[in-house]
Chain A
Amino acid sequence: MLTAAQKNRVVFVIMGLLMITALLWGHLFYLQVLHPRHWISVAHRQQFQVVELLPIRGAILDRQQKPLALSIRMSSIFADPRHVKDPAGVAQRLSSVLKVPTPAIEAKLLQKSRGFVWLARRIPNQAAASIRSMKLPGIYFLMEPKRVYPHGYLASHVIGFAGMDAKGLEGMEMVYDSILKGEPGWRWLMRDARRRTFSAWETPMVPARDGLELVLTLDTTIQFIAEEALDRAFRKSGSKGGSIVVMDPSTGEILALANRPTIDPNQYADFPVEARRNRVVTDTFEPGSVFKTVTAAVALGTGRVSPTERFYCEEGAYRVAGGHILHDVHPHGWLTFKEVVAQSSNIGVAKIAARLGPAAIYQGVKAFGFGEPTGAGLPGEVGGTTKPPSQWSKLSIMAIPMGQEVTVTALQLVQGMSAVANGGLLVRPWIVKEIRHPSGVSVKRFEPTVVRRVISPEVAKELANILVAVVEEGTGKLAQVPGFRTAGKTGTAQKVEPSGVYSHSKFVASFVGFVPVESPRLCIVVTLDEPRPVYPLYFGGVVAAPVFREVAADTLAYLQERLPQDRRLRVASRSGEKLF
């Protein structure tokens, strides 16, 4: 039997236990029922982790589907200095693998206030595996994308390059950055007490959308042929710069485009900025004698000159307005219209131009696309300069038909010559053939675009025969492609000095032509900026024409096939429409 005091003690203890239990239950009720959100969010933050799923940047391919640019992933190593217990020891171990001085690494590991410091980015996989095996606390890895270009400098000015963060900075990488980069996704992961992650089944996930692929009109083999030939001529002539474009004159597809100096997009930062620009579209120059092709086209198109008409070329010296004397490189007497173009007589062209008049010449220049960008889709393209007749001086009537007082780009030259090659249609040069999904499904296809008819097929054919004479009998003999009828025009344009006078030591040597004449497959322009001023090694016929021959011969040998059946142009504008 319990005494009253004992009973009181029992009741007191029971009451105490009940109160403690009630407090605990009450607190539990408070946490679980009244204020669950706060603790759920704490648990959520500890246990759940959002991981961004990075997309793979789309590849850039050539017309044969060979990759010109693609993305790989490489390990980057970072540290959480708060979790690094022995900074000196860790730094020493990492230094031997990363080939970075130990003090530099140690300085980063000693920043205890920071939770993230980069130690090295995009390191070789062997080094990453070696560091992983060390199992160093506080040292973590991240896979980062890296853009690589397996062909090095090949087509570097067209492709461009992407920077450290896989963002396009130049060329097609920049123009089509939004299409190539894709879209990141995300998903939830759960994390246990040891920070190991495992899939969170019931949580949503958005997969990454990889970037689309870009198929260019370039052909890697033709690009290589063109680059090698240009490189040899560039070095041999001691030029300041050089450009080459190989285009299909019927469709406008750019098969090769190269510049010198060039860059390797894998190490773009090691090259000077001026080497990065695409001179084919950004640099303008006075074209010189190659522009006589336009004058000849206008002359034949207007019917004011017949191909057999003869012109007296004043034996090489001709006094013109203002007391100036116009010279020919070689003195000529009577030349037919065809011979005037073949021998590139300035005096002959001046007399032809005087007959045509400013209006017809200007109309012809504009019809051939000069004075405005071609719209090829290459970044930085400029349109060159042409003056309307109201702004012409007394000498302009002679200068412009000879390719002075007008500036053009190399791409405009090849576009204009293509019009002669394909029977009189000005086609737009283009560089992107297709945009497609990485699985191969086409998203968008591009087609040839005819801008307008420039000359009639008959005039084009007549002009082509005249340009054949340039190669067979005239200044372009070194451009003759063995086994094929070749047409083209040479140019040796004096550059303008800063004082405003034409230089006698700085030239732009060029050749633009097409082959085979009967069924043109290739239209090629070669320009060399300031070749060594040693006579005659700065003439277009001497220094640029051989490059044309080499590239054309090797490319035709590579192609060695009949024309495909779908080569007919889809003419957007009305056919037969002549502008002059």
Chain B
Amino acid sequence: MNEAMTALDVVLALGIVTTAALATTSRDRVVSVMMFLSLGVLLAITWARLAAPDIAMAEAAIAAGVTGALLISAIGALRQPARTERASWISIAGQVAVIAVATTMLAVGLVSANDQHTGPAPAGAGALDALDEAAVDHPITVVLLQFRSYDTLLEIVVLGAVALVAFALPTDDAVTTLGLRSDRGELFGGLVRVLLPVLVLLAGWLLVAGSTRPGGAFQAGALVAGVVLLLYLDGRIDPARSPRISNRWLIWGVLIGPGAFIALAGITATLGDGWLHIAPAWGGWVIIGLEALLALSIGVSLAAAFLAGRAQLPLLDPSPSFGDAEPSGRRRATGAER
């Protein structure tokens, strides 16, 4: 059994290195994106092999799923040729040198760390001891949202900043039109009708399950991103017909997560024991409530990054003004499709 596991590990490692090399050195952009997707899948399996199912779920959904969708959407609408120039040998040699130096430093660091500490790292041992006073059962959620909640707060703020910057990209006024073909016939509409309730239920389950087993805000947020994207791709939320509502909806969704986190920090700093000090007595409910808002915010931020990137790509009507020409163009094509 151990030999089989070792063989699997070696195959995974070789696959990761190969797909990463192919993704970065391939001249065809489509091949690069496909290799990146394969890399994401292999990384998710590797995280599962390292007994880290939370990270495996987040990797599969966010890195392989949403980022893959972003990349495919980007290369799908490129008008430039899909093949890039061959990199010069200086550039390739420089890249290889950087990778070699980084790998050597990592190996030296790992070896020296192994020599110094014979047991688990001091911080890990301290966290394991403090688990008795934790608000929830699952250690990963405890570390993310109770012991190191400030780090998670910063992560959420960074994600919100990414979404807001994505909103600033379209040349015209915010995300008023998306240029997405919303009419794909009964097939896609039927799929969305079946999938949406299932996804909402799954997101809620992952959120609540994060207290006792792998799950939590990021994983539920990835599913929420899927829900938002399906709603937009199917045309059920139509920015052309109700631009202010869908705009405001997106922006509030992006802001509510970091806002709630900062509000919690302010409340605990002024009224509680200290900055983001979560007591186990009321911590369970607070963590679940905060994770719900975080999941919503993460999902909307990821979806907004994808949608805002689409807003400036004229898929149907390559006219410079998106606000006026785009809706009629979409409706014209929609009418012809029907």
Do these two chains really belong together in a complex? no
Q: Which residues of A contact B (CB under 8 A)?
A: none
